[in-house]
Structure 1
Amino acid sequence: MSLEKTKTNPLRSSLESVARGRYLMPVVLALGISAMAVNESTFRHSHSTLSAGIALTDARIQAAKTLQLITAASLYAHAYILSGSPDEAVHYREEVKQIHEVKQKAFDLVAQVDTERTISVASVEALVNEEIRDTDEWVNLVARGQPTAARSDAVSKRSRERRDQLRQEFSTMLMKAAEIQQVARFSLYNALSISRMAVHLLALAAVLSMFMFQRQLRESDRLLIEERALLADRVKERTAELTEMAAHLVHAREDERARLARELHDEMGGLHTSMKLEFARLRRVPNMPDKAPAHLASIEARLNEGITLKRRIIENLRPSALDQLGLMPALEILCRDMESVLEQPVQTELEPVASNKNADLTLYRIAQEALTNIGKYAGSTSVQLHLAQTGSEIRLTVRDDGKGFIPTAVGHGRHGLVGMRMRLESHGGKLAILSAPGQGTTIVATLPAQAASAAA
């Protein structure tokens, strides 16, 4: 122990003598100024490099958006060729207008960051303009009453080759932009490394000036606490905004479904009724050919199938039983209808619950999606649906004894479970998925009953 003290004391004495020396502060000040100069230089370089990288990212985003808009415009043009609907032509014109705006932004950003002109946008712009001219010609042909010519041009080999070339040119442009961005990223990493060395020098100067270090540490702690509090507030705020947006999207989708159901019922219902009346008049026409009644019966049978299909589509868009009879009868009807799809009985246990129309629709859609998923994936032999209220909580449970799955391993692109969760969370509810391979699946949806009743 004494030997260690003898070794430590001379080192401490040397440090203390240096600290008391007259050259300590000038050396510390010189180190600080040098580190600040290096840090400022690297900051400016990093700032310019980062700005160029952001501009390249924006250019790639705008280029991808341009390609997406071109695809959307082509789809609307094809839809207009096939249907002749003026709405499709209007959508097409809107997409073309956006193409010109977004395309120019993308090309301007590329020109801004690509000072050596390694990326040629002229060929891409020429192909884009040629694509728009051709699609304009298709739309004009349909408008002039020549849909056959428009379809022929739309599916021609030249059109396909041009679209493939356009995608290839965009891919090449994005690849070159990524290469430039990679070079900028490497340069930024070098600048950050130099900046790190400068920070180390500043840290050394701070170690030699303990009072400054301690004061800065206390200030940093205070700022950290404030930033954490601010970040927590922002997270709460953003969570509330996202929840509100999810609720808005769900309501907007249901409103649109209801509108489509009304349009189908009112417009197509009237057309079908008038057609049925026309068939009734035709049957009373005297001296009809011998085969005419059979043909009329066959055509009327197809009409009845169309009417049945229309009713099924309307029910899928907006279940009339839910609006007219309430949640429990609607769920009972849904389960009976799904039995033919699942090819097995659905056991139901339904109890009255305190909920409003929005909550009823949410619970109905959850049950509908869960039963649809069972029909697609479960391979079950037993399905149960249970609705009950416990205190201030409404609970809907859908259970099957099928294959099961790992809930955390559901891949991207499966939006059913995500949509169910969004619906429930938009009403203050929760979704629980209990499943494992070979052990079936249980979907539990909960909603606050008190909030649902108050909203009603």
Structure 2
Amino acid sequence: MIKSSIERVARTRYVMPIIVTLAIAIIAITESTYQHSRTTLEQGVALSDARLEASRTLQSLTDAEAAARAYIASGHPDDLATYREAVADMQAVRQGVVKLVEVLDPGRTFSLSGLNEQLDAHVATLDEWVRAAAQGRKAQAQTQASAHQSRQRYAALRTEFETVLKRGEAIQKSTRVSLFDAMLINRLALHGLVVLAVLALALFMRQLRESDRREAQEHERLSAQVTLRTTALRNLAGHHVSAREDERSRVARELHDELGGLFTAMKLEIARLRRVTEVPDAALERIAGIEQRLNEGIAVKRRIIEHLRPSSLDQLGLIPALEMLCQNAAGGLGIPVHMQLSPVELTKDAELTAYRLVQESLTNVSKYAQARQVWVELAQTSPWVRVSVRDDGRGFDTETVPAGHHGLLGMRVRVESHAGKLDIISAPGLGTHVVAELPMRTVAPA
């Protein structure tokens, strides 16, 4: 149930803005705790410095009193110099303590005024001792130094210093607790940020996988559509090729039957006219001219019929038909056409495709190639039959075929309609090589 709820939330469009907002909030908390921790540490360092300065003040006071007593006892100038150095050091350290306490305790929760007054009074007493000793009143100075009141004042000063130090310890303890709290908050914030980062990464990976899955499905769908439409177009192209060949066959038959019959009848009529004895010589000359034109028309008819539907292919087979085609092309081009033709096993439609491929290739050679030689090859390598036409002409760039040149496209459509493959290899100045592979005819088992 929890997992489904998380997934339902993850599918909403607000999840990423929420995560970003929470991340910004955690970063703000982390920065705040960092600043608080930094301030707390600075206060702790200041407090430690204040305690050290307070200890130094008390030590300087002790040194000053010891030096004053030594001077009273000996009257030596070095003891007097030591006393004055100790007093000066105590005054400097005391000013540092005051400044540190002001920084440490801006709220003025405790005051150093009482301590300062007692220090000033004690220093004044020490100065009075030293002054009396310096003026030769040594006995008076010794009496004052050994007085009970002096010892009480020094004890009170030590007590006041202890109070200040204890107060500093209390503040330091409070500061330490505050620092630990800040560190705990920072730790929790970091943990939360890590959890959010992991959650965001998981959601991102999930969305990425979902996007990849949708993209893969769309790719498969489009690939299936492309394959389906390519197959449909190939079938349609094959149907158009078959329909065109059927139409050519029909036109060739009609030309052979209808026009051939007319030409035959005309030949018979001319033969009858020649047997008539009363025909003048001038008429016979005209009849001879008509017969010559008739023979030319019959030759044109045969050439058209052969172009529409090669009768040699139906009557003699593929290899003799290709030999005749290549011989006629060699005569028309005036260049040698080398043939290497081996027996192959193809269906009737595939034989016609192979014939048309060679025919179209030789036509292109005559139009564009400016070749010196042509090679035509027919070979069988199971399960393919290879048809190849190669020339040594000027070639062309196969990527930039000019518009309106549909012969190569027609070749490809014919070959692919039989589930074959067509490769056209050419480059400027390197000739052209047209290679087609057609599937062999499958022989049904007996």
Deviation at 1:259, TM superposition (A): 0.4
Matched residue, 1:267: 258
| Partner Cα separation in structure 2 for residue 14 and residue 371 of structure 1 | 76
Separation in structure 1 between the aligned mates of residue 279 and residue 410 of structure 2, nearest angstrom: 56
Distance change (3 Å), C-alpha of 1:412 and 1:347: same
**Within 1, Cα distance between the matches of 2:203 and 2:24?**
22
In the TM superposition, residue 434 of structure 1 has moved relative to its aligned partner by: 1.7
Note the C-alpha offset of 1:345. 2.5
Counterpart for residue 342 of structure 1? 333
Which residue pairs with 1:72 in the alignment? none
Question: Are 1:446 and 2:440 matched, yes or no?
Answer: no
Deviation at 1:220, TM superposition (A): 3.6
% identity of equivalent residues: 55
Q: Tell me whether 1:422 sits opposite 2:432 in the alignment.
A: no
Name the residue aligned to 2:101: none
Following TM superposition, by how much is the alpha carbon of 1:338 offset from its aligned partner in structure 2, in angstroms? 1.2
Q: Which letter does structure 1 place at the counterpart of 2:233?
A: L
Structure 1 residues 219 and 400: alpha-carbon distance in aligned structure 2, compared to 1, 3 A threshold: closer
Residues 378 and 388, structure 2, Cα contact 8 Å, conserved in 1: yes
Structure 1: runs of 5+ lacking an equivalent: 1-10, 20-206
1:253 aligns with 2:255: no
Match of 1:45 in 2: none
Secondary structure of 1:232 counterpart: helix
Instruction: Give, as a single letter, the amino acid of the residue that structure 2 aligns with 1:399.
Output: R
TM-score by length of 2: 0.54
Q: 1:24-43 counterparts in 2 under 5 A? A: none
Distance 1:274 1:427 in 2: 42
CA displacement, residues 287-342 of structure 1 (integer Å, 9 cap, x when unaligned): 22220110100011001100000000000000001011111111011111112211
Structure 1 residue aligned with 2:359: 368
Instruction: Say yes or no: does 1:432 pair with 2:423.
Output: yes
Q: Residue by residue, what CA displacement relative to the aligned partner does 1:167-210 show, whole Å, maximum 9, x if unpaired?
A: xxxxxxxxxxxxxxxxxxxxxxxxxxxxxxxxxxxxxxxx9x96
Give the residue type in structure 2 aligned to 1:416.
G
Spell out, residue by residue over 1:52-86, the C-alpha distance to the aligned partner (whole angstroms, 9 max, x if none).
xxxxxxxxxxxxxxxxxxxxxxxxxxxxxxxxxxx
- The corresponding residue for 2:234 is 243
Report the alpha carbon displacement of residue 374 of structure 1 after superposing the two structures with TM: 0.6
Give 1:438's aligned amino acid.
G
Partner Cα separation in structure 2 for residue 436 and residue 17 of structure 1: 65
Separation of aligned partners in 1, 2:305 and 2:389: 25
1 CA distance for matches of 2:226 and 2:429? 39
Listed as ranges, the matches of 1:179-258 within 5 Å are 218-258=209-249
Which of 384, 387, 390 in structure 2 is aligned with 1:393? 384
SS at match of 1:352: coil
Aligned to 1:15: 25
Q: Secondary structure at the match of 2:371?
A: coil
1:17: how far off?
8.2
SS in 1 for 2:281: coil
Structure 1 residue identity aligned to 2:25: L
How far is the alpha carbon of 1:392 from its aligned partner?
1.3
2:418 alignment partner AA? H
Letter in 2 for 1:254: E
Q: What is the aligned partner in structure 2 of residue 308 from structure 1?
A: 299
Question: Shift in Å at residue 282 of structure 1?
Answer: 1.3
Report the Cα distance in structure 2 between the residues aligned to 1:359 and 1:397, rounded to whole angstroms. 15
Amino acid at match of 1:378: A
- One-letter code aligned to 1:323: D
In structure 2, the CA distance between the partners of 1:278 and 1:439, relative to structure 1 (3 Å rule), is same
Letter in 2 for 1:236: T
Q: Is the 2:347–2:441 Cα contact (8 Å) retained in structure 1?
A: no
Residue 441 and residue 454 in structure 1: after superposition, are their counterparts in 2 closer, same or farther (change >3 A)? Answer: farther
Describe the shift of the 1:224–1:299 C-alpha distance in structure 2 as closer, same or farther (beyond 3 A). same
Structure 1 residues 388 and 212, CA gap change in structure 2 (3 angstroms): closer
Q: What is the DSSP-based 3-state SS (H/G/I as helix, E as strand, rest coil) of the residue aligned with 1:414? A: coil
Q: Given the superposition, is the C-alpha separation of residues 298 and 434 from structure 1 closer, same or farther in structure 2, using an over 3 Å criterion?
A: same
**Letter paired with 1:324:** Q
- Show the counterpart of 2:319: 328
SS in structure 1 opposite 2:399?
Answer: helix
Q: 1:216 to 1:254 in 2, by over 3 A?
A: same
CA RMSD of aligned residues (A): 2.6
**2:108: which partner in 1?**
none
- Measured after TM superposition, the shift of residue 383 of structure 1 is 1.2
Instruction: Output aligned runs, 1:1-150, within 5 Å.
Output: 14-16=24-26
- 5+ residue gaps, structure 2, are 1-20, 30-196
Match of 1:296 in 2: 287
Q: Does 1:286 align with 2:280?
A: no
2:40 aligned residue? none
Against the structure 1 CA distance between its residues 289 and 409, is the aligned structure 2 distance closer, same or farther, given a 3 Å change threshold? Answer: same
- CA distance in 2 between partners of 1:344 and 1:257 (Å): 30
Instruction: Indicate the larger mover: 236-245 or 442-451.
Output: 442-451
Task: Tell me the CA shift for residue 219 of structure 1.
Answer: 4.1
- Give the corresponding residue for 2:345: 354
Write out per-residue CA displacement over residues 369-399 of structure 1, whole angstroms, 9 at most, x where no aligned residue: 0011111111111111111111211111111
